[in-house]
Structure formats: structure tokens, C-alpha cells
């Protein structure tokens, strides 16, 4: 059961969430012609009546770029202002997740992106830990990540997430928490909504953008933090067999934050995970605005 924030932005106005409904004939519902973003917010633990957002500018920029794939011009500054107003309207008091969404809102039946209406909406819900911070189990999915030549994978295109949905259900119904997908070349790509990292011999390793991954904002943040901490970083293709013998594996994402992986298939990973722990603790401190060196990543909003 989800606890949704009471106010949504829908059809150019703020209305009660329960009234923000689309027609069953909506184009995006049938063809997956939408793109979404996702960002976390939390009450400032150090200042009353303040809300903190992590890297709001990057999230708005990525959604604006995703909208271009739909032939929709939605400037980042417009997205940002609507999200700020959305938060002020809702005045959340617990950690929450914001879902902005651009989509083809017309009611036509032809699959196309030209001559069809577009719209933009925002809603939110209360959200704690998406995955267990103590660690999760993963399986290698039988489903493969799409290729960028078939889908614009640098955008969070809604139709692409059928693969994630298939992989997630396959994983859970076979006794695992999460799935790791390979790409068309058989290399490690990403999880169902998270980027993948591993540690081997003191190096932090993750697939590069040429491996059909999403350009994750949390991923980018973790790479920057690791370099600042003096942890060697390498972006390169990863074989699934490397995951089985890795010193540490973790997933990163807006919802997942930094989630340790303790088992992949029937391979148990080491219990001692110093680099994952260091990065996770640093990341949490940054999102809570407790690290002055990364204050440029934090957008603070006074809700009263």
C-alpha cells in the first residue's frame, strides 16, 4: 500500500492526487510513449521546515533530454520550478519519492510521436528503503537489456521497462530479490532499475555508457565520490563470471541508493564490504546535507 502525497501536478495545474486521472484511450498507455524521472526528497535533519533534494538540476536535465525523444520540448528550468512548487504545495514531513512523467496524452490509435498531444505530470509518495540496506540476493536474468540502436536507452522511456518488469518478476518468483541483466554482447549491464558496481582488488569497476546502461545520476555521483576518496575507478565491460568472484558488489539508483549484494545465483559474496560501506555512508551524509564539500548537489526548499 502506497501513501501518495496529496497534491499532484496534472494538465498544467495542481489538483488532489485522487483527481489526476487519464483516459483509458491515452496514447502512452498503449504504446509506452512516455518518459519518467525519479528523485528523492527528505526533511532536512538539521533545519526545521526545510526539504532537501539531491541533484535536482541533473534530474531535470535528464528528463528534458528524455522528452526530446518524444518530440516534446520541455525545458529543464520549467521542470525544476514545477517540482519546487509541488513540494511547497505538499509540505511532506517524511522521506519521499517524486515521479515526474512526460507522455503522449492524445487519444489517437496510431503509434507515432508527431501530431499527437504531449503532457507533463508530477506526483509523489512516501518512500523509505526500496531494497534492504543489509544486502540482497540477485540472479542473472534470462532477459537481456535492449540495445541503444532499438531504443534510446539514455532516456528513461517507459516502454523499455517491460524488460525490467519481466526480469524483476522472474527473479522474485525464483527466490531472489533482484535481477541483473546482461546486454546483447553477454556483458553485465544493469539491474531492473539500478546500475551495477563491483570491487576487485581494491578497484571500483562498473560498466561504461557503451554497454547500453542508463546514464544513472546516482552512478555518476558514486564515481565522483570514489575518486575524491582516492578509490581507483574503472569503467569497462564486466563478465558475469567476474561478479561471482568479486570482493564486493552493489547496486546504485535513486530508489535503491547504495544497496549491497550478498549473493548472486548460488555464489555467496564476502560479508566484509569496506568500500561499499564507505561509499554508502558518504552518500547518505551528502544527501542529508552533512558534508560541506558536496553542498552544490543539494537543493534546499523552505516549505513554510
**At residue 124, does pLDDT exceed 80?**
yes
Alpha-carbon separation of residue 60 from 78, 82, 265 (angstroms): 9, 10, 36
pLDDT at 167 over 80: yes
How many residues are present in the chain? 304
Nearest to 69 by CA among 181, 183, 150: 150
Mean pLDDT over the full length of the chain: 96
Rounded distance between C-alpha atoms, residue 86 and residue 68, angstroms: 23
The angle at the Cα of 45, spanning 42 to 48, to the nearest 5 degrees, equals 95
pLDDT at 48 over 90: no
- Domains of the chain with CATH codes: 7-126 (3.30.470.10), 136-287 (3.20.10.10)
Q: How far is CA 95 from CA 39, 132, 136, 280, 292, in A?
A: 11, 16, 22, 17, 21
C-alpha dihedral sign at 16, 18, 24, 27? positive
- The string of pLDDT tens digits covering residues 81-122 is 999 999 999 999 999 999 999 999 999 899 999 999 999 999
Supply the pLDDT for residue 177. 98
The 10s digit of each residue's pLDDT in 239-296 is 999 999 999 999 999 999 999 999 999 999 999 999 999 999 999 999 999 999 999 9
Amino acid at each position: 500500500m502506497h501513501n501518495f502525497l496529496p497534491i499532484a501536478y496534472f494538465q498544467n495545474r495542481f489538483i488532489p492526487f485522487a483527481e489526476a486521472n487519464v483516459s483509458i484511450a491515452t496514447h502512452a498507455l498503449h504504446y509506452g510513449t512516455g518518459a519518467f524521472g525519479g528523485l528523492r526528497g527528505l526533511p532536512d535533519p538539521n533545519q526545521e521546515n526545510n526539504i532537501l533534494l539531491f541533484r535536482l538540476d541533473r534530474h531535470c536535465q535528464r528528463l528534458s533530454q528524455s522528452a526530446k525523444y518524444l518530440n516534446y520540448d520541455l525545458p529543464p528550468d520549467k521542470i525544476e520550478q514545477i517540482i519546487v512548487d509541488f513540494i511547497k504545495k505538499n509540505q511532506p514531513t517524511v522521506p519521499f519519492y517524486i515521479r515526474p512523467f512526460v507522455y503522449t496524452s492524445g487519444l489517437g490509435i496510431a503509434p507515432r510521436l508527431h501530431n499527437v498531444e504531449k503532457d507533463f505530470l508530477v506526483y509523489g509518495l512516501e518512500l523509505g528503503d526500496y531494497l534492504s540496506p543489509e544486502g540482497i540476493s540477485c540472479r542473472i536474468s534470462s532477459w537481456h537489456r535492449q540495445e541503444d540502436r532499438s531504443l534510446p536507452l539514455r532516456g528513461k522511456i517507459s516502454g523499455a521497462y517491460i524488460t525490467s518488469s519481466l526480469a524483476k518478476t522472474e527473479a522474485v518468483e525464483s527466490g531472489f530479490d533482484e535481477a541483473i541483466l546482461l546486454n546483447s554482447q553477454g556483458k553485465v549491464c544493469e539491474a531492473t532499475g539500478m546500475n551495477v558496481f563491483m570491487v576487485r582488488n581494491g578497484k571500483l569497476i562498473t560498466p561504461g555508457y557503451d554497454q547500453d546502461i542508463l546514464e544513472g545520476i546516482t552512478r555518476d555521483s558514486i564515481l565522483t565520490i570514489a575518486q575524491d576518496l582516492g578509490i581507483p575507478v574503472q569503467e569497462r565491460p564486466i563478465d558475469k563470471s567476474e561478479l561471482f568472484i568479486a570482493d564486493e558488489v552493489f547496486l546504485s539508483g535513486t530508489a535503491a541508493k547504495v544497496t549491497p549484494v550478498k549473493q548472486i545465483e548460488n555464489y555467496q559474496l564476502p560479508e566484509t564490504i569496506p568500500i561499499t560501506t564507505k561509499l554508502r555512508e558518504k552518500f547518505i551524509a551528502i544527501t542529508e546535507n552533512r558534508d560541506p564539500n558536496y553542498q552544490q548537489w543539494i537543493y534546499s526548499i523552505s516549505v513554510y
